[in-house]
Amino acid sequence: MRQRIGLLGLGFMTPALVMVLVFFLIPVVMTAVFGFTNMGTATGISGGEYLLTPKIVKQLEIRGEFDKQSLTALSSNRYQVTEAGLAKAASDGLKSAYIQGLRDSLLGREYSSKRDFERALKKIKDRPRKVRALKKSAEYFSQSILNRRYLTDHEFKTALAATGVQLSATEFDQVLSASYTGWIWTTDNFTNMFSKPDTWVVAFNTLVYVLLVLAFNIGFGLFLALTTFYLPSGQSAFFRAVWLLPRISPPVLYVLLWKWLTWDTGFISTVLGWFGVPAFNYMLGSVGSAWAVVVLINGFVGASLGMILFSSAIQAIPKSILYASEVDGANRWQQVRYIILPQLRWPILFTTSYTTLSLLTSFEYILLSTEGGPGNTTNVWALEAYFTALNNYAGNLKYGYGAAMALVLVTLGVLVSLLYLRLFKFDELVARPKIEN
């Protein structure tokens, strides 16, 4: 009987567990996994091939660890007519008379330059008439390893050995890894991240962003909750509805209104223009005004959450306690300071922690408004990660690096939540109320 109930419970919980796994745990795990790769547009996300290009040879040369001669040998182009090359050419539909001619007169011969080989080809009867086709047919017999794709490392090693270039074991491995086009495991993302000065600029921006918007959210939310609490109920309902509008309006439209308000041909500039103030783009015109706009855009959206939570918490304070403070002689300010605010401790702390975490990862309003500009001055961590991994002008999307940035954010979020839990004694706060009213 016990056993059956246990299984039943597990059965009921399974959907929830699957959801948690699929939608919460796996994304974090995948982020962590991607963070330790160099995946990107260049590498793709599936496996890679081996491709040695002249550019890679040049890079190896710059490293200076290679014998110059072997590098030259690697990049030199050698031609030899082989049965394999002939078979390939036949299967690609070259004329059989031409192939037969090649086999008869050139099989086994080696040429150290393309020009010599092409000259030899021109002597074959039944050769292609067009020069271009002739040049193309030469490529079937190129023995160079350059610009050829090898699907497995075995193929590549064989080809490398077949060139006859003498390489030491380390040189061999270096060529192998430099030629690999797929992604590899690496911690370079993190070392690069922390050594780039831009990273610290973005980190500082994020700190400023979170602190300013947090302060605005909590402060303005409290202000709205308190002022609407003291208004007659009809008016307070109206004002609360008005302050909810930013939250419920579509972000794109909301930001569009801000653009309309702040652009150099927008509302503010137009009105100020009547008083002789020159037009100014408040959203992107200066660092200060850009920050002000970013904080206000996010702040007005976030303040409504605080307002609702604080309002309901104030409503939950027993009326008699407020009455008592009034007959005890407390004026409005003293009532707020000594009676209401202390009892809002829990909602304030909750909103603070919740808002901190959501601000750390939020970038949508910045993306829609300033896009991190002017310059890089309002760029925040999450936005930078988004640009790096998913959307940038150059088109070289670095999934691995972006995931590494996101992983830093996740780690930071977990640390901050733990800190909040410790600092605010969460378990005490969510305990049962001690006074019944």
> Which of 417, 410, 415 has the alpha carbon at shortest distance from 28?
410
Among 12, 320, 394, 422, the residue binding another protein under the rule CB under 8 A is: 320
Is residue 231 at the binding interface for another protein, with CB under 8 A as the rule?
no
Distance separating alpha carbons of residues 301 and 365, to the nearest angstrom:
10
Is residue 230 at the binding interface for another protein, with CB under 8 A as the rule?
no
- The answer to whether residues 251 and 368 touch, using CB atoms and an 8 Å cutoff, is yes
Q: Which stretch binds another protein (CB under 8 A): 20-28, 47-55, 187-195, 324-332?
A: 324-332
How many residues bind another protein (CB under 8 A)? The answer is 22
Residue 92: DSSP 8-state = T
Residue closer to another protein, measured from CB, 3 or 233? 233
Among 15, 329, 393, 428, the residue binding another protein under the rule CB under 8 A is: 329
Q: What is the largest distance, in Å, between two alpha-carbon atoms of the chain?
A: 117
Residue closer to another protein, measured from CB, 322 or 416? 322
Distance separating alpha carbons of residues 255 and 140, to the nearest angstrom:
59
Site for another protein in 143-182 (CB under 8 A): none
Is residue 326 at the binding interface for another protein, with CB under 8 A as the rule?
yes
Distance separating alpha carbons of residues 247 and 270, to the nearest angstrom:
27
Distance separating alpha carbons of residues 349 and 347, to the nearest angstrom:
5
Residue closer to another protein, measured from CB, 14 or 331? 331
Q: Which stretch binds another protein (CB under 8 A): 22-30, 60-68, 168-176, 332-340?
A: 332-340
List % helix, strand, coil for the chain (3-state, nearest 5).
70, 5, 30
Residue closer to another protein, measured from CB, 189 or 325? 325
Q: Which stretch binds another protein (CB under 8 A): 52-60, 241-249, 316-324, 353-361?
A: 316-324
Among 342, 394, 428, 430, the residue binding another protein under the rule CB under 8 A is: 342
> Quick one: tokens of 278?
């020159």
H helix or E strand, kind and range, residue 138: helix 131-138
Is residue 434 at the binding interface for another protein, with CB under 8 A as the rule?
yes
Is residue 327 at the binding interface for another protein, with CB under 8 A as the rule?
yes
CA distances from 106 to 80, 98, 133, 164, 170 (A): 8, 11, 18, 21, 37
Terminal Cα-to-Cα distance of the chain (whole angstroms): 43
Cite the DSSP H helix spans in 186-266.
188-195, 197-230, 233-248, 251-262
Is residue 339 at the binding interface for another protein, with CB under 8 A as the rule?
yes
Site for another protein in 350-369 (CB under 8 A): none
Among 328, 411, 425, 429, the residue binding another protein under the rule CB under 8 A is: 328
Residues that bind another protein (CB under 8 A): 318, 320-321, 323-331, 334, 338-339, 342-343, 345, 433-435, 437
